[in-house]
């Protein structure tokens, strides 16, 4: 596998990424993990030699609590330095992240039917809010819809709208690597396909889009990176390009 053109750290069970701009002077931070994980994110920045002021963009692949819960604490620390990163998500995800609304997706696997049901029954309770709640992120802005919005800011990144896990899932392509959010998972007990999602057909179309764009390596938010070829081999009947 070729060298990865961005930094990656497992924070809890969610992967967090740092993508440098062309000059290597500023960064996009992709997802932030759970509420108490913001300290781990700060350690990741420290170890990577990246200061708060160098975080120019905080980018959310989607609205789920295990990707955004740590955002408000982290942003308050970043903003205390006088920095004001652009905070970005797909327009479908913005109301959830802005207003702190918990969304538990339907299960796509027998393994997680109970987990999804439990999350949905708990989410309006005190305990549910404690575990799953997300703080409001009023700074959130909607992606312009231009795939090259971040490229225009000096990042070698293409934004892809990849629904299926949530309607507003966004993936980031850097060279032939794609940060997929939860459009893919790669846990040993759940290889390649996510455990949750709201539309299986859209999910598959998103996988085909990765391949059509020339992706060779996929980096899910949960679990290890894997070769595009593995996904193609596992689903030979999808309309893969080439």
Residue 38 sits in the site that holds Zn ion (CB under 5 A): no
How far is it, in rounded angstroms, from Cα 127 to Cα 96?
19
Shorter beta-carbon distance to Zn ion: residue 155 or 185: 185
Site string for Zn ion, 63-82 (x = CB under 5 A): -x------------------
Q: What are φ and ψ of residue 71, in 5° steps? A: -65, -45
How far is it, in rounded angstroms, from Cα 84 to Cα 26?
13
**Nearest distance from C-beta of residue 55 to Zn ion, angstroms:** 22
**Nearest distance from C-beta of residue 199 to Zn ion, angstroms:** 13
Q: Of residues 182, 215, 220, 225, which one binds Zn ion by CB under 5 A? A: 182
Q: Which of the stretches 12-20, 42-50, 61-69, 233-241 binds Zn ion when contact is defined by CB under 5 A?
A: 61-69
Q: Are 17 and 6 in contact (CB under 8 A)?
A: yes
Query: DSSP of 162-182, one letter per residue?
Result: --SSSTT-EEEEETTEEEEET
From the list 82, 218, 121, 102, the residue with the least C-alpha distance to 166 is 102
Q: What are φ and ψ of residue 140, in 5° steps? A: -60, 140
Shorter beta-carbon distance to Zn ion: residue 93 or 182: 182
**By the criterion CB under 5 A, which residues form the site for Zn ion?**
64, 182
């Amino acid at each position: 596998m070729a060298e990865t053109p961005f930094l990656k750290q497992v924070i809890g069970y969610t992967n967090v990424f740092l993508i440098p701009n062309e000059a290597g002077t500023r960064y996009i931070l992709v997802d932030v993990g759970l509420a108490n994980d913001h300290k781990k994110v700060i350690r990741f920045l420290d170890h990577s030699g990246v200061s708060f002021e160098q975080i120019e963009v905080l980018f959310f692949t989607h609205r789920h609590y295990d990707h955004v819960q740590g955002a408000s604490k982290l942003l308050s620390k970043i903003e205390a330095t006088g920095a004001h990163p652009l905070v970005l998500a797909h327009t479908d995800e913005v109301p959830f992240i802005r207003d702190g609304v918990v969304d538990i997706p339907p299960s796509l696997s027998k393994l997680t039917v109970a987990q999804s049901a439990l999350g949905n029954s708990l989410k309006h309770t005190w305990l549910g809010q404690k575990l799953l709640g997300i703080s409001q992120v009023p700074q959130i802005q909607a992606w312009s819809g231009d795939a090259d919005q971040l490229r225009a800011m000096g990042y070698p990144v293409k934004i892809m709208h990849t629904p299926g896990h949530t309607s507003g899932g966004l993936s980031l392509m850097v060279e032939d690597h794609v940060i997929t959010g939860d459009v893919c998972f790669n846990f040993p007990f759940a290889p390649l396909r996510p455990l949750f999602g709201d539309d299986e057909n859209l999910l598959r179309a998103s996988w085909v889009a990765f391949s059509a764009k020339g992706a060779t390596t996929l980096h899910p938010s949960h679990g290890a990176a894997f070769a595009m070829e593995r996904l193609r081999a596992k689903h030979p009947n999808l309309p893969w390009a080439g």
